[in-house]
Amino acid sequence: MNRSTSENDSLESGARAPAPRHVAIIMDGNGRWARARGLPRLAGHREGAVAVRRAVEAAARLGIRTLTLFAFSGDNWKRPPDEVAGLLVLFRRYLAAETPALVRRRVRLSVMGRRDRLPAPLRRAVSAAERATAGGRGLHLRIAIDYSGRDAILGASRRGPARSRAGFARRLGLASGGGAASDVDLLIRTGGEHRLSDFLLWESAYAELTFASVMWPDFTPEHLETAVSDFRRRERRFGGLSKRAAS
Ligand code: FPP
């Protein structure tokens, strides 16, 4: 990974930024993982669900406060109907199977995105999981299903003019259903692609980006630790100057 001069500056001075509070992941590569093994795409998604479980545990261990996972975009409805149906069933099963462990680990789960196009059993599973985990004071896990960053911004702006960025951000959290969350600190995309795909467009304005070539089903806690460790070596300037340039 190439490092900029300012990143080298902060490396030389030994400065370590705090761990990211909010990590967002675009979980890409399930299909290619399956194809490489001669398996149907859904097998890749199923293995992807196992990687989700690992990532949630690792995020909590690393002290990450919010983990937002992109599971299904508003544009993913364009996929073949059997893949879409399989994914929706997988989400429902994941929620039913994982809720007890989430409660035990004090994880609060919320689902972002449109609910009106989801099948009723999935909608019920989402509500049940959100209710059961509402008291969780550990990691806030947000799963984006039928989510579009542009539509979320549009939905928030339809609620009337906002007086401040912070006010708009709160409204965005409400409009997209994920609940209030801080801006994204670290955005990871697996699968070797380099794009945002309409994910958290407002919230990622100053996110540090990490693109990993690993396919999502092969994503391990070590990959997350490496991304966090790399993040902590970066100097975030938010449009200002590096410490060295300012002194
Ligand atoms: C993108 O990879 C992945 C998706 C559209 C689905 C993500 C779903 C999971 C990780 C399944 C489990 C999720 C939860 C929340 C239980 P792709 O299929 O586009 O991969 P490709 O680019 O290799 O074809």
148: CATH = 3.40.1180.10
What is the pTM (predicted TM-score) of this model?
A: 0.92
What distance in Å separates the CA atoms of residue 122 and residue 71, rounded to the nearest whole number? 14
Catalytic residues: 28, 76
Burial class (CB in 10 A: 0-12, 13-18, 19+), 6: middle
Closest CA to 73 of 172, 157, 151: 151
Residue 15: pLDDT band by 50, 70, 90 thresholds?
A: low
pLDDT at 162 over 90: no
With a 6 Å cutoff on the Cβ, whether 197 touches ligand 1 is no
Give me the number of domains the chain comprises: 1
Query: Which structural domain, as residue segments, surrounds residue 123?
Result: 20-235
pLDDT for the residue numbered 87: 98
- Phi first, then psi: what are they for 24, rounded to 5°? -120, 140
Categorise residue 111: left if φ over 0, alpha if ψ from -120 to 50, beta otherwise. beta
Nearest-atom index, ligand 1, CA of 76: 5
Any ligand 1 atom below 6 A from CB of 92? no
Quickly list H helices, 62-193. 81-104, 120-133, 149-158, 165-176
Residue 49 CA to ligand 1 center (angstroms) comes to 9
Alpha-carbon Rg for the chain in angstroms:
18
Task: Among 30, 70, 82, 109, say which to mutate for ligand 1: greatest number of ligand atoms within 8 Å of CB.
Answer: 30
Q: At what angle do helices 41-61 and 81-104 cross, to 10 degrees?
A: 20
DSSP codes joined into one string, 151-184: HHHHHHHHT---SSHHHHHHHHHHHHTS---PPP
| CA 20 to ligand 1 center in whole angstroms | 24
Does the CB atom of residue 95 touch ligand 1 within 6 A? no
Atom of ligand 1 nearest to the CA of 90: 16
148-160 as b/e, with b when 16 or more CB fall inside 10 Å?
bbebbbebbeeee
Is pLDDT above 50 for 134?
A: yes
Based on the number of CB atoms within 10 Å of its own CB, is 95 exposed (0-12), middle (13-18) or buried (19 or more)?
buried
Looking at the domain assignment, is residue 4 inside a domain?
Answer: no
In a domain, 184, yes or no: yes
Ligand 1 centre and the CA of 218: distance in Å? 12
Q: Is residue 247 part of a domain?
A: no
Residue 13, pLDDT above cutoff 60:
no
| Residue 92 domain flag | yes
Ligand 1 atom at minimal distance to the Cα of residue 217: 10
Look at residue 151 and tell me if it is in a domain: yes
- For the ranges 14-28, 65-79, 101-115, 170-184, which has the lowest average pLDDT? 170-184
Are residues 244 and 6 in contact, defined by beta-carbon separation less than 8 angstroms? yes
Whether residue 245 lies inside any domain: the answer is: no
**Residue 88 in domain:** yes
Give 22-35 pLDDT, tens digit per residue.
999 999 999 999 99
Residue 243 lies in a domain: no
Q: What is the mean pLDDT of the chain?
A: 92
Pocket probe for ligand 1: among 28, 35, 145, the residue whose CB has the most ligand atoms within 8 Å is 28
Q: Which residue has the higher pLDDT, 36 or 19?
A: 36
Centre of ligand 1 to C-alpha 208, Å, is 22
Q: Report, as an integer, the average pLDDT of 103-116.
A: 97
Please indicate whether residue 48, judged by its CB atom, sits closer than 6 Å to ligand 1.
yes
CA separation for the pair 95, 70 (Å, rounded):
15
What local confidence, expressed as pLDDT, does residue 174 receive? 82
Q: How far apart are CA 211 and CA 206, in angstroms?
A: 16
Check the annotation: does 93 bind a ligand: no
